[in-house]
Structure 1
Amino acid sequence: MSWLRKKRVLLLLFIGFTAILFLSTNWMTWFYPIHYKEDIRRHSITYEIDPFLVAAIIRVETNFKTGRESKKGAIGLMQLMPDTAKWALEMAKLPDVSLEELKHEPSANIELGTWYLSSLSRQFDGNRTAVIAAYNAGPGNVKKWLEEGSWDGMEGTVKDIPIGETRHYVQRVKHYYDQYTEIYNEF
């Protein structure tokens, strides 16, 4: 009988501890963390981009892990293609950094990626869904789809994006964006 009583007490303590933990903290941040908040915040303000969008793209691209290089050659937290990175560095007139620095230095990669998102946002008149698609497939492809009418650029028609990888990418970024904006009151 004593053994059963100890199990009940332990179970009640566990349930109580769990309830307190969940009620007193924003426990969803455990499942949807945002790293490099200061860098994201600073560069988002500078380039007038929603910081939650930057965080969602980083989450999908690398899950906030530095030093990544994709099979296609994209580098760093925001997985910038080397040619895009070189072009963006020139256009943004940012201090020249090497591709190796972009690969391993979070702040430099976030700044360049955020500038690039800002550039895409201007190209697509602030259409966040088209910006996300262009970040993945390139602005030329997205412009072609819009001109041909194969996709209208709207969030409700993401299923019509001609490239499956981009379609899935937009859905994933949108999912994390929605989670972040719901969980975090402010950035």
Structure 2
Amino acid sequence: MLIPRWCRMTAIAGTMAATALLGSLPVSAAQRHTIMVGETLTGIAAAYGVTIDAIAQANGIANVDLIYAGQQLIIPTADDDTAQPTAAPTAASEPAPTETYTIQPGDTLWSIAVARGLTVDAILAANPAISDANRIYAGHTLTLPGGAVPLSTGAAGANWSTQDVRQLIERYANEYGLDPLLVQALAWQESGWQQHVVSSSGAIGVMQVLPETGAWVSQFVVGRPLDIRGSVEDNVLAGTAYLHWLINHFGGSLELALAGYYQGPGSVARTGVLEETNRYVQNIFAIRDYIAHHGVPPR
């Protein structure tokens, strides 16, 4: 079922307005900031003198493009900023090599940065024409600073059979202590175990992982870059690890974890499980039971 999973309201505006709202606030100590309508992380980070990555990491924000009016942020001090600054070149040093990357539908600066082993701030520094990190457009070309690694290309999953994918799901489900039939049912509901499937919202592959979700999982759950677009294995790992995180996040509730996978954990916490989401969850349980009784998913 290729339906956008994140039900959300974005707070989008120019960074100048956000900076004006925050410019008089102290930046000497970690504190909380309540997001106002019209603010962006770009403006908030600039006003407090920290990086976007530092705020995102301090608050577990999966997608720097999406924040909510009324949401409270922990603002780290400059000393807590874990982003690695780019060393200034000396007179004797040669300029770092650069590459270019064409933005794809569903990309965010956060997901691009994680996939390439960079930070959002490093990409912004290499692309001074970008005035707002929350606004990038498919088809535009980015300059990527030295240290970038190529994204995988080619027909992802072209050589993977249905049985291969099933066994891969089972392996990662077992590694995370999850019911393999449940993870298989989730993946079947999402894509029919097909890596080439991309939803209208940009969710990718077997587990239908949004780029921003994959980037967050890679950094905060798995601990290494994941290529959810070009690697079937990374896609399955990302979706399985994320489901495991959601189960823990919701105190062991499979129903709420699956609802969070579809609707978004923040939305579930704020508004409860929507009727549409409840149907999605019950359908996954039905697919799991079908696989248990028949050995194959329904067709």
TM-score (norm 2): 0.42
2:290 is matched with which residue: 175, 179, 187?
179
Q: For residues 70-85 of structure 1, what are the structure 2 equivalents within 5 Å?
A: 70-85=199-214
How far is the alpha carbon of 1:65 from its aligned partner?
A: 1.2
Kindly indicate which of the two structures has a greater share of residues assigned to strand. 2
State the identity as a percent. 28
Mark the runs of 5 or more structure 1 residues left unpaired by the alignment: 1-32, 147-160
- How large is the RMSD of aligned CA atoms in angstroms? 1.9
Q: 1:39-50 maps to which residues of 2 (within 5 A)?
A: 39-50=168-179
Higher RCO, Cα 8 Å, sep 6+? 1
Residue 96 (structure 2) pairs with residue 96 (structure 1): no
Output the CA distance in 2 between the equivalents of 1:58 and 1:93.
Answer: 19
The one-letter amino acid paired with 2:284 is: V
Shift of 1:134: 0.6
| Alignment partner, residue 257 of structure 2 | 131
8 Å CA contact 1:61, 1:79 repeated in 2: yes
From 53, 59, 62, the equivalent of 2:191 is: 62
More helix by share: 1
- Provide the C-alpha distance between the structure 1 equivalents of 2:247 and 2:285, rounded to a whole number of angstroms: 16
Query: Which residue does the alignment assign to 2:166?
Result: 37
Partner SS for 1:72:
coil
> Judging changes above 3 Å, is the alpha-carbon distance between structure 1 residues 145 and 35 closer, same or farther for their aligned structure 2 residues?
farther
Kindly indicate whether residue 199 of structure 2 is the aligned counterpart of residue 87 of structure 1. no
Distance of 2:213 and 2:256 partners within structure 1:
18
Check if 1:117 corresponds to 2:229: no
Deviations 1:143-177 (A, max 9, x none): 2245xxxxxxxxxxxxxx4252x233112212101
Alpha carbons of structure 1 residues 169 and 104: separation in structure 2 relative to 1, 3 Å: farther
Please give the alpha-carbon distance, in whole angstroms, between the structure 2 residues aligned to 1:173 and 1:34.
19
Which segments of 5 or more consecutive residues in structure 2 lack a partner in the other structure? 1-161
Q: Is contact 2:189–2:284 with CA below 8 Å preserved after alignment?
A: yes
For residues 263 and 234 of structure 2, what CA distance do their matches in structure 1 show?
22
Deviations 1:3-61 (A, max 9, x none): xxxxxxxxxxxxxxxxxxxxxxxxxxxxxx86523211221122111111110111110
Structure 2 Cα separation of the partners of residues 143 and 182 of structure 1: 34
Q: In 1, Cα distance between the equivalents of 2:264 and 2:177?
A: 21
